[in-house]
Amino acid sequence: MASASKPPTPMMQQYHEAKEAAGDALLLFRMGDFYELFFEDAKTAAAMLGLSLTSRDKGENPVPMAGFPHHQLDQYLAKIIAAGRRAAVCEQVEDPRQAKGIVRREVTRVVSRGTVTDDALLDPAENNFLLAVAPGEPCGLAWIDVSTGRFEAGVCDPFCLPDEVARLEPAELLTSDDAAPLPAACSEKRMVTGRPGWAFGVDAAYDALRKQFGVQTLDGFGFTEDDAPAVRAAGAVIDYLNETQPGLLANVDRVTPYRVGQSLEIDAASRRSLEITQTLRDGRREGSLWAVIDRTVTSAGARLLGDWLANPLTDPRRIEARLEAVDELVGDESLTKAIREQLRGVYDTQRLLSRVVSGRASPRDLSFVGRTLALLPKLKAKLTGRTSARLGQLESRIDLCGELRDRLDGALADDCPLTSREGGFIRTEYSEELDQLRELMKGGKRWMAEYQAKAVAESGIPNIKVGFNKVFGYYLEVTHAHRDKVPAEFIRKQTLKNAERYITPELKEYEEKVLTAQERAFDLEHELFVELRGVVADAAKRLQATAAALAEIDVLAGLADLARSSGYVRPTIVDEPVLDITAGRHPVLDVLEPAGTFVPNDIAVSSQSEESAILLITGPNMAGKSTYIRQAALLQLLAQIGSFVPAERATVGVADRIFARVGASDDLAGGRSTFMVEMTETARILNTATRRSLVILDEIGRGTSTYDGLSLAWAVVEHLHNEVGCRTLFATHYHELTELADELPRAGNLNVAVKEWEGTVVFLHRIVAGAADKSYGIHVAELAGVPRGVNRRAEEILADLEGGRRRVDAPQNGAPRPSGAYQMKLFETVDHPLLEAIRSADLEQTTPLEALQLVAAWQRQLEGEAAKAKPR
Ligand code: ADP
């Protein structure tokens, strides 16, 4: 074997050790000014990153190699992570100038989707969660955003795991290698990192957390014995970060317990179909509720709004507190404008701080902290003396950190570089020593000129010149003509054809100072910077609290701006489960449809006795049924995050859960929904909805045959009506369901108004009381060119159905119904000899021509029957 015949060089040995530590991560091996990848990694990187593949050691065993300059690290890390891989960065951990032998190298961090902190790799408007799932029943969940230090943990029923994953949208999942894989609904399209089973062990977890937070017990954080699974998951997070990027843990000073049920619950499927944060069709943020209501001007604000949407409130007092704040801001346009103007200048302090605390902040990062602090006094002043309690609280949480601000202001130049090694970013007068060094650097030339003049004057040699060369630095040059006048302290260094070169102790002493001044200035600047970074890190807690307050002010001011510019009203929040909207609009379509064309509609459902809890909305396709029922759910959701709602008036009873189901055939999301899925989801609603829930069902039962589907839909509505009693909006094109309103006292019918206008049918999108006008479909058929006779017959059948409600009479020509004519009843199968013929036809063995002949034969048979039935 080649490796046996030729032992690896010490460097390659070092590489192999690092690669071993890096596991499946691509190893970026720092060599001088480059990061290099070798072997398989090099081939992968060449294809993935577009690097050119070369080889090292071109002899008999060439090693594939690819690399990039060190300053492009972020850019390539971003590509590696975007491709779903992780990268291990192996740095030179000692100064090559000081190294004896080969430079020591170590893997200093392993970066993956869930552990990135660099701005270049993060979406500023979204959290970037690393989520650990501790197996068990209940299972434990812990999630952290290392870019902000937010760390939470809770327990949940394994059944609800997909919902929690949908709520958190983690960038990376940690799972136990000893447990069964996560369901596809959780892991699909996500980075999943397997961890050894022991990483989720309960003792190891308590130890890791106690050590991390320097506490004896986790009780202080609010965790109890029942939270053991949550603690296990949190332990796995700490363990993983310790292994991959220990520096990040410096920013993690607490873990907060999360309790399921604290907020309005929305399961994964409902979240999807309501298009809260992304659209069904292409999964993009554009076109979602979030995109439409987001008027925040800071990244932290955008993230917080995302959090609010993911976790709407259920406590009416907290909802009111937000609404009151928004209300005050809506009422004072100039205040809101001024606040938003100030906030625009605020940097993402949460993420800056995480870099500061983990020792990765740049001078520019620190200057951004300083600039943010500079805005605070004005902002705080604007918020002083407000009537809303929430604004008052937020104002008091803004810590001006005056001393820190002055210090940063005094220390950092206006334009700071991305690395402290560039130097030149510390202001003059911040450090006396630095000023002297700089003076020395600047003053070097002047000193030389003066020294030259002095040498000329003292020696009487008129043409002494000062020069510099690399071999012996600064020198004085005297032509041979004046050699005899050279003073004694001149030390000869070099003889040229026409001149001699000398040095003097004074010159050497100064040279020493000048030459090292620059280097020392850089080092000193770096030291001052590190010290400054430490000062900022010490203030991290106060700064985090301030940043959180700013983010919330941004969200509230954004909601106020939205309310004002889009004509939203403050909802009245009540405890009773009602939803009473006057002239409500769908928040997304309201802006997507051409201005002024969206038709507002009223909504009134209530789970209180004697009132309509269930509304059945019928109407043709494209009339606006789905829009109407989704609008109800979205307005409910908006109210519960503390937002105004698009309506003229709204009374909203706090809901505990929102369910939104779309019938199988309507769900276009990648053919995901089969009838089975639809029914599983429906079962879940029936089993878990309470009187306080809001349920919207869209074309449920459509994924199977008509009778099947209709019967199921019927039974579902009955169950919701009789057993659950929750607010329900049910959109359907099954007219038959409208009969339910007669049978169930608390169900009502609505339909979508349509109008015939200049030979075309116009959908008015107006929801009106009563069942849909059934002749409408026939009318459309006529417009579409269906033969007159067929339409007339259709009208007869319709009249039968409407008259007898569940009977279809055979064609009538004024004569009594002949015996033997069949009746069609809803939910009863029709018995006719032809049906058997149709059922038993073997289509696989039938040619198209034979099929036509069969149909023709059946038609003849039917015509014969009709003729027999006719009176002679
Ligand atoms: P359905 O569920 O009855 O098939 P949709 O709710 O999907 O119909 O609505 C179809 C289209 O009609 C929507 O995409 C929208 O363009 C338009 N629409 C629906 N409701 C309204 C409304 N209230 N005002 C204006 N346009 C509407």
CA of 622 to the centre of ligand 1 (A): 6
Say which range, 297-311, 496-510, 843-857, has the weakest mean pLDDT: 843-857
Give the mean pLDDT of the chain: 86
CA of 763 to the centre of ligand 1 (A): 9
User: Quick one: tokens of 704?
Assistant: 């199977």
Task: Say yes or no: CB of residue 598 within 6 Å of ligand 1.
Answer: yes
Q: Is the predicted pLDDT of residue 444 greater than 50, yes or no?
A: yes
Residue 735 neighbours by CB distance under 10 Å: 21
Q: Where are the alpha helices (DSSP H) in 214-275?
A: 228-244, 268-274
| pLDDT, position 863 | 79
Write b or e for each residue in 212-240: b if 16 or more Cβ atoms lie within 10 A of its Cβ, otherwise e.
bbeeeebeebebeeebbbbbbbbbbbbbb
User: Quick one: tokens of 261?
Assistant: 């049920």
The amino acid sitting at 819 is S
Say which range, 298-307, 516-525, 644-653, 829-838, has the weakest mean pLDDT: 829-838
| pLDDT, position 199 | 92
Burial class (CB in 10 A: 0-12, 13-18, 19+), 532: buried
Radius of gyration of the chain (CA): 38
For 413-534, list the strands marked E by DSSP: 465-469, 473-479, 491-495, 499-503
Confidence of residue 809 (pLDDT cuts 50, 70, 90): very low
Q: What's the rounded mean pLDDT across residues 657-679?
A: 65
CA of 621 to the centre of ligand 1 (A): 9
Confidence of residue 778 (pLDDT cuts 50, 70, 90): low
Please tell me the distance from the alpha carbon of residue 378 to that of residue 524, in angstroms, as a whole number. Answer: 34
Task: Say yes or no: CB of residue 627 within 6 Å of ligand 1.
Answer: yes
* Contacts (Cβ under 8 Å, ≥6 apart) of 579: 603, 604, 605, 606, 632, 635, 636, 651, 652, 653, 694, 727
| pLDDT, position 755 | 76
* 469 in Cβ contact with 502 (< 8 Å): no
From atom 12 of ligand 1, which residue's Cα is the shortest distance away?
624
Q: What is the pLDDT of residues 16-39, one digit of tens each?
A: 999 998 888 999 999 988 999 999
Confidence of residue 189 (pLDDT cuts 50, 70, 90): confident
For 96-198, list the strands marked E by DSSP: 105-111, 130-134, 139-145, 150-156, 172-176, 191-195
Task: Say yes or no: CB of residue 571 within 6 Å of ligand 1.
Answer: no
Q: What is the pLDDT of residues 252-262, one digit of tens each?
A: 889 999 987 78
Task: Say yes or no: CB of residue 625 within 6 Å of ligand 1.
Answer: yes
Q: Which of 662, 507, 655 is nearest to 579 (CA)?
A: 655
Q: What is the pLDDT of residues 222-240, one digit of tens each?
A: 888 889 999 999 999 999 9
CA of 731 to the centre of ligand 1 (A): 12
Confidence of residue 41 (pLDDT cuts 50, 70, 90): very high
CA of 282 to the centre of ligand 1 (A): 19
Burial class (CB in 10 A: 0-12, 13-18, 19+), 450: exposed
List residues bridging with 36 in a β-sheet. Answer: 29, 67
Task: Say yes or no: CB of residue 354 within 6 Å of ligand 1.
Answer: no
**Half-sphere exposure of residue 29, counting CA atoms within 13 Å on the CB side?**
24
CA of 589 to the centre of ligand 1 (A): 9
CA of 553 to the centre of ligand 1 (A): 35
Q: Which of 472, 481, 477 is nearest to 456 (CA)?
A: 477
Atom index in ligand 1 nearest the CA of residue 763 equals 12
User: Quick one: tokens of 53?
Assistant: 């593949």
Write b or e for each residue in 842-857: b if 16 or more Cβ atoms lie within 10 A of its Cβ, otherwise e.
eeeeeeeeeeeeeeee
Give, rounded to a whole angstrom, the gap between the first and last alpha carbons of the chain.
Answer: 103
| pLDDT, position 811 | 46
At 603, give phi and psi (nearest 5°): -135, 130
Q: What percent of the chain has pLDDT over 90?
A: 48
Please tell me the distance from the alpha carbon of residue 235 to that of residue 223, in angstroms, as a whole number. Answer: 13
Burial class (CB in 10 A: 0-12, 13-18, 19+), 838: exposed
Confidence of residue 669 (pLDDT cuts 50, 70, 90): very low
In the 3-class helix/strand/coil scheme, how is 336-393 assigned residue by residue? HHHHHHHHHCCCCHHHHHHHHHCCCCCHHHHHHHHHHHHHHHHHHHHHCCCCCHHHHH
Write b or e for each residue in 751-761: b if 16 or more Cβ atoms lie within 10 A of its Cβ, otherwise e.
bbbbeeeeeee
Residue for token digits 């279809």? Answer: 808
Confidence of residue 817 (pLDDT cuts 50, 70, 90): very low
Task: Say yes or no: CB of residue 630 within 6 Å of ligand 1.
Answer: no
Atom index in ligand 1 nearest the CA of residue 620 equals 3
At 705, give phi and psi (nearest 5°): -65, 160
CA of 762 to the centre of ligand 1 (A): 12
pTM: 0.80
Please tell me the distance from the alpha carbon of residue 587 to that of residue 309, in angstroms, as a whole number. Answer: 14
| pLDDT, position 466 | 86
Q: Which of 210, 172, 204 is nearest to 189 (CA)?
A: 172
Please tell me the distance from the alpha carbon of residue 603 to that of residue 729, in angstroms, as a whole number. Answer: 10
Confidence of residue 242 (pLDDT cuts 50, 70, 90): very high
At 380, give phi and psi (nearest 5°): -65, -40
The residue among 262 and 338 whose pLDDT is bigger is 338
Task: Say yes or no: CB of residue 637 within 6 Å of ligand 1.
Answer: no
CA of 596 to the centre of ligand 1 (A): 14
Question: Would you state the torsion angle of the CA atoms of residues 203, 205, 208, 210, taken in this order, to the nearest 10 degrees?
Answer: -80
Q: Is the predicted pLDDT of residue 786 greater than 90, yes or no?
A: no
| pLDDT, position 864 | 78
Task: Say yes or no: CB of residue 593 within 6 Å of ligand 1.
Answer: yes
* Contacts (Cβ under 8 Å, ≥6 apart) of 482: 461, 462, 463
Please tell me the distance from the alpha carbon of residue 602 to that of residue 148, in angstroms, as a whole number. Answer: 42
From atom 26 of ligand 1, which residue's Cα is the shortest distance away?
598
* Contacts (Cβ under 8 Å, ≥6 apart) of 1: none
CA of 620 to the centre of ligand 1 (A): 11
Task: Say yes or no: CB of residue 626 within 6 Å of ligand 1.
Answer: yes
From atom 9 of ligand 1, which residue's Cα is the shortest distance away?
624
Residue for token digits 């020392």? Answer: 520
| pLDDT, position 420 | 77
Q: Is 277 helix (H, G, I), strand (E, B) or coil?
A: coil
| pLDDT, position 805 | 46
CA of 586 to the centre of ligand 1 (A): 10
Q: What percent of the chain has pLDDT over 70?
A: 91
* 217 in Cβ contact with 210 (< 8 Å): yes
Task: Say yes or no: CB of residue 621 within 6 Å of ligand 1.
Answer: yes
The residue among 61 and 505 whose pLDDT is bigger is 505
Q: What is the pLDDT of residues 705-759, one digit of tens each?
A: 667 778 888 888 999 999 999 999 999 878 888 888 888 888 898 888 877 666 5
Q: What is the best residue among 617, 622, 665, 700 to mutate for testing ligand 1's pocket, by most ligand atoms within 8 Å of CB?
A: 622
